[in-house]
Amino acid sequence: MIRLVGRPGPWKRARVSAALAVSLGLLMLLHAEIPNRIGGLGSLVETFLPWFGLFVPVLLARALWRRSATATLALVLPVAVWLNLFGGLLGDRSDGAGDLTVVSHNVGADNPDPTGTARDLAASGADVLALEELTARASGTYEKELATAYPYHAVLGTVGVWSRLPLSDTRAVDTAMDVGPLADRLPAGARAAENRALRTTVTTGRGPLAVYVAHLGSVRVLPGSGFRTDDRDRGAKALAKAVAAEPDKRVVLLGDLNGTTDDREFTGLTSQLRSAQDAAGDGFGFSWPAKFPVARIDQILVRGVRPTKAWVLPATGSDHLPVAAGISW
């Protein structure tokens, strides 16, 4: 006797694809619950969280190929979660030019053309320009090339600020790596060279503006130890503490933070400051790496002022793209 076995119906096909779709949605929905103690997995996922949306069309194509109603319906969850997290970043949120334009750029220690980079940045029209990863050799080039457009500047260690408006009360902000008792044994010149953050006051026609420039520690993905962010995380906490103690109501933080604002380790900063790109950008504003940007790790964060526009500038000789924002009182 021959028994004919019919093909499973549309609600019974591609159950594995349906399970993957639900898992994808839950991963994005509950990303904050992924523990960081296991190789920094939570921060790693949050760094590239927007890109998880690329799995949706892949799963949709498979669901359609299998003609599976279950797998297609299951995609509602990841689509809804992704749109809730990032849908607001898809459109242009800009609102005018603003009263002041600020630019931040990690110019790159290995930049082969600091002269060209300086000229490109001067041509951006920024009122306040923050540079990170300055080297002793390149600093003189930037000072020379930017002198005409920016009569006021300050460099502390590997970070600097150039301004069309007067600067005052410039000082270092301690976000150094944890070297314990060795820190006190370092020569003063060595400690200055390692400085990676500063705070200054920009005098504007609308009152003082506190500007922070920072370059937090690098992150590494290492076999056996995962996503290593210890130095960066210590710097982020120190920077958040400094901002919390800042007496001025109007604050702008510019810099290469080596992390995205979705990363939980920046909660101390994002609870006090808001992202200019999120508020007034057009798209995601990815800034690194310059050849094929996949993450926005160069940030402009503000408090007490309103971002009116945020954008990414064309590539220079650095491996980062410059980021810009217009702010208004």
Quote the pLDDT of residue 188.
41
Distance of CA 207 to the CA centre of its chain: 28
State the residue range of the domain holding 66. Answer: 15-89
Number of other residues whose CB lies within 10 A of the CB of residue 170: 18
In a domain, 5, yes or no: no
Token pair listed for 143: 């000072």
User: How many Cα neighbours within 13 Å face the side chain of 137?
Assistant: 7
251-256, strands of its sheet edge to edge: 167-172, 197-204, 207-215, 251-256, 298-303, 274-275
Same domain assignment for residues 178 and 118: yes
What is the domain-level CATH number for residue 107? 3.60.10.10
Domain end, chosen from 27, 60, 89, is at: 89
Token pair listed for 270: 């994002």
Quote the pLDDT of residue 247.
97
Quote the pLDDT of residue 8.
67
Q: Alpha-carbon distance 318 to 128, whole Å?
A: 19
Quote the pLDDT of residue 183.
41
Same domain assignment for residues 154 and 258: yes
What are the two backbone dihedrals, phi and then psi, of residue 195, each rounded to the nearest 5 degrees?
-60, 130
Domain end, chosen from 42, 65, 89, is at: 89
Q: Alpha-carbon distance 46 to 32, whole Å?
A: 8
**What stretch of H or E contains 90?**
none
In a domain, 2, yes or no: no
Same domain assignment for residues 174 and 320: yes
Same domain assignment for residues 236 and 113: yes
Same domain assignment for residues 146 and 248: yes
Residue 44 region by backbone torsions, left for phi larger than 0, else alpha for psi between -120 and 50, else beta: alpha
Same domain assignment for residues 150 and 273: yes
Q: Alpha-carbon distance 50 to 278, whole Å?
A: 13
Same domain assignment for residues 32 and 79: yes
Consecutive 10-residue averages of pLDDT for the chain (329 residues): 55 82 97 93 96 97 92 97 96 91 98 98 97 96 98 98 98 72 39 79 96 95 83 96 97 98 97 98 97 98 98 98 97
Same domain assignment for residues 292 and 320: yes
* DSSP letters for 191-222: HHHT--EEEEEEEETTEEEEEEEEEPPP-EEE
Domain end, chosen from 89, 114, 137, is at: 89
Domain total for the chain? 2
Residue 167 to residues 151, 201, 234, 291, 302: CA-CA distances in angstroms? 10, 6, 28, 34, 18
Quote the pLDDT of residue 3.
53
What's the whole-model pTM score?
A: 0.90
Same domain assignment for residues 45 and 187: no
Same domain assignment for residues 83 and 104: no
Quote the pLDDT of residue 290.
98
Same domain assignment for residues 125 and 209: yes
Same domain assignment for residues 81 and 107: no
